[in-house]
Chains A and B, each alone.
Chain A
């Protein structure tokens, strides 16, 4: 084997003496590099490829099996085997054809011949094998080393030099040795490819290093999970022991978390599917989970609900199934009976549903009963805090709820704290308007927003921030925040508020657009309705009032009703205020935002005694002094009452306290 170019160096020859004879090797009949390339293409794609495909097909089957069985070892072995077959085929083909026929089929087609440079009749078998091994390696390197055919004086790449061979074209369609342009071309290409390969290699090494670091970090976060639902994994650790009996515990936990909004439907689906794959016994809890998973397909969901009672007729799951069916039919009395029949300490997931149901129905005492039965759960801390606050608020226990809320907000993680504080602040705002922003919940919300401005992406939080800026007349800051964090509809709302005093028609138009947007945020639409009531003219107000009176009561209906009451009082339509107030009272709305305007209306209608009665109730609920901010203004320096209610309350107090003193 002589690698050096023997035609240049006199002393490097191994065989014979001196340089190879030019006449013997016919060095003036050098093969055209393009012919050599074309021959290689034919050899690889037409001759070898079908053979390699055929020989490696059994291994391909094994490879496919290994992928399906996820057997990494088998995959590597079969892939390696296929590679080995391919390489072996190429080497054998090249070696045997070169040795026996002085050229491969491709070379024969182009009249090329591989000859020994020392004039031997035939290329020896060892040389042929050496040549084919090196040729294969060079081809595997994207044929870049073959480019030396443009730089070597006899157009002999490494594989030719290794094997003492040369490729010639005896038919005289030969070419001259490479000129300076060819040499330069080859060097440029090789240098470029090497440079690009180096850059890619460095880049991949950097990315690999980064991904390794990320993987380690991720692994440290993930820890050892069951591979199922992470929320259930986490909750399971602190779940009460009495609920940990049975194979379907994870499903129960998933159901409870799903009911509380702490886990998604996908999580529940995964847990149910896992349970059913691994258990041969039917589980009513799993069927209940399926009923919720398929809640959007009522037919399928009902089949699961019906199956529950076939499997275990007297189980809590069967009772819950009947409750769900009654929910769909809005048979609230039957729902109530269903929950009541659960007795003491129903399963946690059923208690969570009961709490949600009774809170929505504004039956706060019953909701409180179920809340008291639930022991504190770390996994349900956010839900329990929020609903405890909602229930106490609904029961008008203002002082208690503020204390509990403030305590909870100190201990909850940010996500749960934001949910609680934004809900609470909103309710304070319903009652107290701008005065709400002095309360603890609104201060906590503001603080969280200041530290994490991205929370403004939540439309409910954004709305409270906008309302606060309205109260504090801080338009500039809110515009800055709106551009970065707030949605288009929120920006529209901000503009509507700006135009409220300058151009009420434009304000009304913008607010109406917001209300009529079918994809709009419900809380924003509710506030837009409230603002619209304050902004529109009297005729439109009375028309809207008629529509409102025919609607079904709900929490948002109540908020709108309160806005009507305030506006009607401003227009001195006290009879209408009284009518609205009675309707809301019958619907179960006894909040401050109903009673305060009612006090004013009753006073001006001449029913001072009734007005005083209501005012006394309000006073007991709120033993602390009222907020001293006006509806939309800054905090006044003095403590003189500025709202209509405060004026009336002071008058009533003077009148009736004076009488009682007498």
Chain B
């Protein structure tokens, strides 16, 4: 019922670096799509085979039992149940095992008890899985425990796990990137983008640890862009569209919230995601988002400290609502709007 509603995006000449980054991401997405979807399909076929999954689950349970000091209470509990024959837990461990870098590295050389035919089959299938992973763009370009070389810290930003992931990141990159680039310039924008991405990866490794599953996506870098934007516009109003589910005049329209409120909301959301998720299960890399946001905030503070005076910000400060007071709501029919980009009405 409430969503940011920034007015349009800048065209190419005014936000070259942003659009170059979008084009580069799109090019990588299109070039790798074919290989990625084929590899992913082949991987899923192997990993979803019940026989392989259950065998892997058994082995992973034995592995956790033998290396219990390195695993959380939850994992040890699941492995105990699996070792007692709980089919559900065996299947669960079977799906999780492939994310555990230590298991994937050491298990092929370890001795396990039980069904030796299934173990042999697991070995053979794991070799096939590794072969496919070596061709999968996410593993080739993404950052994982098996390869933390310096180029991976940058290349991971440009590869995405699917169209939804890609589209979501590009949407926010365009919206906030165009706005930010017009303030700080193309080169600075590029540096902020890349540094945010690198430090987001660092935060992810620090807070979650490396896994066999690769870290991919531009969300860490984009989070940095968004955070820096929010810092630079901290007093400015960010326009939101809202609707209060009441079919009467006056209960829908636009509202301006100070950017620092928006930044707090993002931080809170990512922090909640990080604190509320079990890292063993993967999914959204909230730690990378937090790392990117922290980078953006840090750069923002540095800019303020260096008394960054490019007053693309200043003219807007006079037109925006004063700090600490929320504006009355506009209805959809209200013509008097305070635009965030009033010097370029075409935005």
Chain A residues with CB under 8 Å of chain B are 34, 37-38, 41-42, 45-46, 50-51, 53-54, 56-58, 60-61, 64-65, 68-71, 108-109, 270, 273-274, 276-282, 286-287, 290, 294, 300, 303-304, 307
Q: Is B329 an interface residue (CB 8 A)?
A: yes
Kindly state the separation between the CA atoms of A50 and B267 in the bound complex, as whole angstroms.
Answer: 10
Which of the candidate stretches B15-23, B83-91, B157-165 sits at the interface with the other chain? B83-91
Contact of B278 among A45, A65, A108, A274 (CB under 8 A): A65
- In Å, the complex CA distance between A281 and B113 comes to 7
* CB pair A70 B81 closer than 8 Å: yes
Residue contact A69 to B84, C-beta cutoff 8 Å: no
Q: A300–B329 contact, CB under 8 A?
A: no
Asked if A50 contacts B268 (CB within 8 A), the reply is yes
**Assuming the A-B contacts A57-B272, A58-B276, A61-B275, are A38 and B90 also in contact, with contact meaning beta carbons closer than 8 angstroms in the complex?**
no
- Contact present for B245 and A41 (CB under 8 Å): yes
Please name the residue on chain B nearest to A111 by beta carbon.
B328
CB <8 Å contact, A69 and B58: no
Known: A34-B251, A38-B251, A108-B326. A278 touches B84 (CB 8 A): yes
Nearest A residue to B275, CB-CB? A57
Instruction: Please determine whether A68 and B273 come into contact, CB atoms closer than 8 angstroms.
Output: no
Does A60 lie within 8 Å of B276, measured CB to CB? yes
Q: Which of A41, A69, A280, A300 has a CB less than 8 Å from the CB of B244?
A: A41
Q: How far is the CB of B137 from chain A (nearest CB, A)?
A: 31
Question: Which of B29-37, B114-122, B176-184, B287-295 lies at the interface with chain A?
Answer: B114-122
Query: Inside 8 A of B269's CB, which chain A residues have their CB?
Result: 50, 53-54
Q: Is B1's beta carbon under 8 Å from chain A?
A: yes
Bound-complex Cα distance A560 to B272 (A): 75
Contact with A along B46-78 (1 / 0, CB 8 A): 000001001000100000000000000110011
B 131-185 contacts with A by CB, 8 A: none
- Does B342 interact with chain A (Cβ within 8 Å)? no
Task: Check if A64 sits within 8 Å of B275, measured CB to CB.
Answer: no
B248 and A276 within 8 A (CB): no
Main secondary structure of the interface of B (DSSP, over half): helix
Is the CB–CB distance between B54 and A273 below 8 Å? Answer: yes
Q: B206 an interface residue at 8 Å Cβ cutoff?
A: no
> Of the candidates B73, B115, B120, B274, which one forms a contact with A290 in the assembled complex, judged by CB atoms under 8 Å apart?
B115
The distance in angstroms between the C-alpha atoms of A58 and B273, with both chains bound, is 9
Q: A38-B251, A109-B329, A273-B87 are in contact. Are A54 and B271 (CB under 8 A)?
A: yes
Contacts of A68 on B, CB cut-off 8 Å?
74, 77-78, 92, 278
Q: Which of B51, B74, B274 has the most CB of A within 10 A?
A: B74
In the complex, chain A residues whose CB is within 8 Å of the CB of B188: none
Q: Is the CB of A277 within 8 A of B326?
A: no
Question: Smallest CB-CB separation from B281: which chain A residue?
Answer: A64
A274/B246 in contact, CB under 8 A: no
On chain A, the residues within 8 Å of B73 by CB distance are 65, 69
* Interface residue? B11 (CB, 8 A): no
Q: List 13 A-B contacts (CB under 8 A).
A: A38-B251, A50-B272, A51-B268, A64-B278, A65-B278, A276-B58, A276-B114, A280-B113, A282-B114, A287-B115, A300-B51, A300-B117, A303-B121
Instruction: State how many angstroms separate the Cβ of B345 from the closest Cβ of chain A.
Output: 28
* Chain B residue nearest in CB terms to A50: B268
The residue on A at minimum CB distance from B279 is A61
**Given A54-B271, A60-B275, 12 more pairs with CB closer than 8 A:** A34-B251, A38-B244, A41-B245, A50-B265, A53-B272, A54-B275, A57-B271, A57-B276, A61-B275, A70-B81, A290-B115, A294-B51
**Residue of B78, B117, B244, B329 touching A303 (CB-CB under 8 A):** B117
**A46: B residues at CB distance < 8 A:** 2
Residues of A within 8 Å of B201, CB to CB, are none
Give the Cβ gap from B228 to chain A, nearest Cβ, in Å. Answer: 22
Q: Which residues of B contact A71 (CB under 8 A)?
A: 77
Task: Give the shortest distance, in Å, between B246 (CB) and chain A (any CB).
Answer: 6
Mask, B209-244, CB within 8 Å of A = 1, is 000000000000000000000000000000000001
Task: Assess whether B74 is in contact with A278, with CB atoms less than 8 Å apart.
Answer: no
Find the B residue at minimum CB distance from A70: B81
Q: A51, A65, A294, A304: which contacts B74 (Cβ < 8 A)?
A: A65
Q: Which 4 A-B pairs have the closest CB atoms?
A: A57-B276, A280-B113, A57-B275, A60-B276
A277:B2 contact, CB within 8 angstroms: no
Contact partner of B58 (CB less than 8 A), chosen from A56, A58, A64, A277, is A277
Q: How far, in whole Å, are A282 and B244 apart by their CA atoms in the complex?
A: 66
- The chain B residue sitting closest to A106, CB to CB, is B244
For the complex formed, measure the closest distance between the CB of A45 and the CB atoms of chain B, giving whole angstroms: 7
Kindly list chain B residues whose C-beta atoms are within 8 Å of the C-beta of A108: 326
- Inter-chain contacts of B51 with A (CB < 8 A): 294, 300
**Given A273-B87, A280-B113, is A58 in contact with B77 using a C-beta cutoff of 8 Å?**
no
Give the most central of B116, B245, B248, B265: most A CB within 10 Å: B116
Smallest distance from the beta carbon of B325 to chain A beta carbons, Å? Answer: 10
Contact of B192 with A by CB under 8 A = no
Q: Is B195 an interface residue (CB 8 A)?
A: no
B203 sits at the interface (CB 8 A): no
Instruction: Specify which chain B residues have a CB less than 8 angstroms from the CB of A45 in the assembled complex.
Output: 1
What are the residues of chain A within 8 A of B38 when measuring CB–CB?
none
Q: With a CB–CB cut-off of 8 A, which chain A residues contact B54?
A: 273
Please judge, given known A-B contacts A68-B77, A300-B51, whether A38 and B114 are in contact too, CB under 8 Å.
no
In the bound complex, do residue A61 and residue B251 qualify as a contact, i.e. CB atoms below 8 Å apart? no
Q: Hey, which chain B residues are within 8 Å of A279, CB to CB?
A: 113-114
Nearest-neighbour CB distance to chain A for B67, whole angstroms, equals 18
Q: B117 to chain A: which residues have CB within 8 Å? A: 287, 290, 300, 303-304, 307
